[in-house]
Amino acid sequence: MRIVQLVGWYYPDGVGGTEVYVAALAKYLRAQGHDVTIAAPDPTCAHDRTYEHDGVPVYRYPIPAAATRDEAQGLVPVRGAEHFAAWLRRQRPDVVHAHAFVTGIGLWELRMAREAGARVVATCHSGGLGWICQRGTMLRWGAALCDGITVPTKCAACSLQQRGVPKVIASVLAATPTRLSRMARRIPGKIGTTLSMRDLIARNVSMQATMLDLVDHLVVLTRWAFDTVVANGGRGEKVTLNRLGQSWSTVMRKPGPDVRPTKPPIRIGYLGRFDPIKGVFDLARATRALPADVPIEVEFRGPLRTATDRDVVAELQRLAGGDARVTVAEEVVPAGVVEVLRAYDVLCCPPVCLEGGPTVAIEAHAVGTPVIGTRIGGLAELITDGVNGRLVPPGDWRQLASVLEEIAVDPHNTVDRWRRTLPPARSMSDVAEDYLRLYAPRKEAVPA
């Protein structure tokens, strides 16, 4: 099969879990004899270009660095999308698999794939689950897990509060009559965006329905996400659950607690992007709140490639207040992830948004390292609280501090007990095999 993996950005740009996932999927599919190309929009170039990454061809098509409101909201094709359409016509792929809905990848691009004769599969990696959650986190008011049902007034108020509007005022603005909200789209700038938020949410409902009509399959990463998409109108036969997997072909677990018991100081690791939604500030606050004699070391590792990354680390260090138990280490190259995870006593993944993983939590389990996570998304389905790890409410750094102190004081009855009951890690080959079944065209029923 000729397969295009369509992703929001790609190497050598800033790298996150989705890019690692797509790279591993492409590698496995190519090993099975399939022709795989990565495609991604690029706001930094004026012309389309091609290059190779890790033996896989990559195609980048230009989009503007500053999209218009209509482009960003998918009302019109983004400038540069015509390059992608022409490329698809030349490639004639059997399958186009979209891994993001961002500027440059939306309904227009799905239609382009259809017009090129491809089957279309989309995977929801983010908390928005397509166009269900405008906030993108599935947290009501940014504090607690939402019921996941899109309602224009409810969701408009929540989205406005995320933009800094107080709750009471956000609720009033969200009740703007539909006609006035639609007319406000013509007003430029933040005022127009604010007053038209209810109309945007109503259009999101329509766009979600259109997306589900366009794709052959919509893939989600958790049972909660599956139930939410179906509750918002997704037909069960089109929605598929395909959980994350780790990409290593072979990995050896570190010695168990009977051979190498956990001893203070307890090494806690964070491995991932420096982004507030990943909960890095909560982990810094939790560590600083611990009494000075609690024997613990907390290490943050992630890419420091942009000014935003550096700003987050600076704020993280400010929140840690100079606590010598908190360190920021250099970025880990992919080949070094196994040893870093093996060296931690516990991995801490405290995101404050709905995630399908993160994959690093599955990788930690694969090497024998338990995980502390938040009670939302994939972590809530991967970890059994108190049995093979711990779960805390998203954003609750005080509860996280309590858990950290508990394991530092008594690792034998916490960390070592969890190590004995870690679940087996799903592999990326399992993930890819499930996708190959979705990529194959349905067989027509033979008349009796």
pLDDT band for 235, please (50, 70, 90 cuts). confident
Looking up residue 399, the CATH number of its domain turns out to be 3.40.50.2000
Q: Specify if 371 maps to a domain.
A: yes
d(CA 10, CA 99): 11
- Amino acid 94 reads D
d(CA 244, CA 124): 12
d(CA 219, CA 430): 14
Report pLDDT digits (tens) over 386-409: 999 999 999 999 999 999 999 999
d(CA 341, CA 327): 16
Q: What are phi and psi of 297, to 5 degrees?
A: -130, 130
Q: Specify if 287 maps to a domain.
A: yes
Does position 448 have pLDDT exceeding 80, yes or no?
Answer: no
Lowest mean pLDDT among 33-47, 207-221, 244-258: 244-258
Which domain covers residue 391, as residue numbers? 266-425
Assigned token pair, 98: 């979209």
- Amino acid 240 reads T
Res 443: pLDDT: 59
Lowest mean pLDDT among 184-193, 253-262, 345-354: 184-193
Q: Which helix (H) or strand (E) holds 120?
A: strand 119-123
d(CA 33, CA 55): 14
3-state secondary structure of 5: strand
Report pLDDT digits (tens) over 125-169: 989 999 999 999 999 999 889 999 999 999 999 999 999 999 999
Assigned token pair, 59: 């195609």
d(CA 126, CA 137): 8
Q: Specify if 316 maps to a domain.
A: yes
Res 334: pLDDT: 80
Three-state secondary structure string covering 328-343: EECCCCHHHHHHHHHH
Non-local (6+) Cβ contacts of 227 within 8 A are 148
Q: How high is the mean pLDDT of the chain?
A: 93
Q: Specify if 11 maps to a domain.
A: no
Closest by alpha carbon to 53, among 79, 20, 17?
20
Question: Is residue 434 exposed (0-12), middle (13-18) or buried (19+ Cβ within 10 Å)?
Answer: middle
Res 14: pLDDT: 65
d(CA 227, CA 239): 9
Does position 254 have pLDDT exceeding 70, yes or no?
Answer: yes
pLDDT band for 247, please (50, 70, 90 cuts). confident
Q: Specify if 340 maps to a domain.
A: yes
User: Hunting for tokens 């038209």 — which residue is that?
Assistant: 196
> Structurally, how many domains does the chain consist of?
1
Q: What is the mean pLDDT of residues 274-290?
A: 96
Question: Is residue 242 exposed (0-12), middle (13-18) or buried (19+ Cβ within 10 Å)?
Answer: buried
68 neighbors 85 (Cβ within 8 angstroms): no
Q: How far is CA 403 from CA 98, 290, 297, in A?
A: 38, 10, 14
Assigned token pair, 173: 């603005």
Does position 350 have pLDDT exceeding 90, yes or no?
Answer: yes
Give residue 258's Cα distance to chain centre.
36
Q: Specify if 213 maps to a domain.
A: no
Q: Specify if 26 maps to a domain.
A: no
d(CA 155, CA 146): 10
Does position 434 have pLDDT exceeding 70, yes or no?
Answer: yes
Report pLDDT digits (tens) over 361-379: 999 999 999 999 999 999 9
Q: Which helix (H) or strand (E) holds 144?
A: strand 144-145
User: Hunting for tokens 């766009």 — which residue is that?
Assistant: 207
Dihedral sign, Cα of residue 68, residue 217, residue 61, residue 135? positive
Q: What are phi and psi of 104, to 5 degrees?
A: 100, -10
Q: Specify if 36 maps to a domain.
A: no
Q: Provide the phi-psi class of 92: left if phi over 0, else alpha when psi is between -120 and 50, else beta.
A: left
Does position 249 have pLDDT exceeding 80, yes or no?
Answer: no
pTM of the model: 0.90
Q: What are phi and psi of 429, to 5 degrees?
A: -65, -35
3-state secondary structure of 361: helix
Res 446: pLDDT: 43
Non-local (6+) Cβ contacts of 204 within 8 A are 131, 132, 134, 150, 155
